[in-house]
């Protein structure tokens, strides 16, 4: 497993063989005392999203309100509205062989549906897992994020191969469809 930091890339291959299916698992813990003096804060509903781009333009997406891309290559496996529980909170599967050939990149986001600052969460991560459940790479978010969203990572084509790039940048979104234009700098 490789721990990626902002700006690092990882080629999606195991022992020189390109991967064809991966899962992007996203997790977070709610900070129960964040933002309130002397009382517990309510759970924060974060949402994982995968947004596809082709030719530098929005192409398709998978998130809690639209669970799969039109070609079925990217599928969101369900919404966790609290962040409670051990392990991954939301998972998005990607069948790289089925991704439409014009799609150049897929951004993975976490957004706060209710508009809470991401300062109220901790232990946020994005991890790439192969079909066997082996964790290949992880992006850990270690600094507080004042915005309501976070562009965590990007899958992108590099010739015939796919790579994962760590981003870790805050963004003011509650859902990925709030402002698709604001995602373009990360493509």
Strand order in the sheet with 121-130: 2-4, 135-141, 121-130, 21-30, 90-95, 74-76
The domain spans of the chain are 2-35+45-173
Statement: residue 44 has pLDDT above 50: yes
Mean pLDDT of the chain: 82
Q: Which fold has domain 2-35+45-173?
A: Lipoxygenase-1 (2.60.60)
For 94-122, write each residue's pLDDT tens digit.
999 999 999 999 999 888 777 777 776 77
Q: Hey, what are 65's tokens?
A: 């309100």
Q: Hey, what are 100's tokens?
A: 């439409």
For 54-89, write each residue's pLDDT tens digit.
999 999 999 988 999 999 999 998 766 555 566 778
Which pLDDT band, with edges at 50, 70 and 90, does 37 fall under?
very low
Statement: residue 2 has pLDDT above 80: no
Using alpha carbons, list the distances in angstroms from residue 136 to 131, 163, 165: 11, 12, 13
């Amino acid at each position: 497993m490789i721990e990626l930091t902002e700006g690092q890339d990882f080629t999606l291959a195991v022992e020189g063989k390109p991967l064809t299916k991966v899962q992007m698992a996203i997790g977070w813990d709610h900070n129960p005392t964040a933002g309130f003096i002397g009382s517990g804060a309510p759970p924060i509903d974060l949402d994982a999203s995968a947004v596809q781009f082709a030719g530098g333009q929005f192409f398709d997406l998978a998130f809690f309100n639209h669970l799969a891309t039109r070609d079925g290559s990217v599928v969101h496996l369900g919404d966790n509205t609290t962040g409670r529980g051990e392990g991954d909170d939301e998972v998005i599967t990607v069948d790289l062989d089925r991704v439409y050939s014009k799609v150049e990149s897929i951004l993975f986001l976490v957004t706060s549906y209710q508009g809470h600052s991401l300062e109220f969460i901790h232990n946020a991560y994005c991890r790439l897992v192969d079909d066997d459940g082996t964790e290949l790479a992880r992006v850990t978010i270690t600094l507080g994020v004042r915005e309501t969203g976070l562009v965590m990572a990007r899958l992108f084509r590099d010739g015939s191969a796919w790579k994962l790039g760590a981003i870790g940048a805050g963004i003011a979104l509650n859902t990925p469809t709030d402002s698709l234009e604001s995602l373009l700098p990360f493509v």
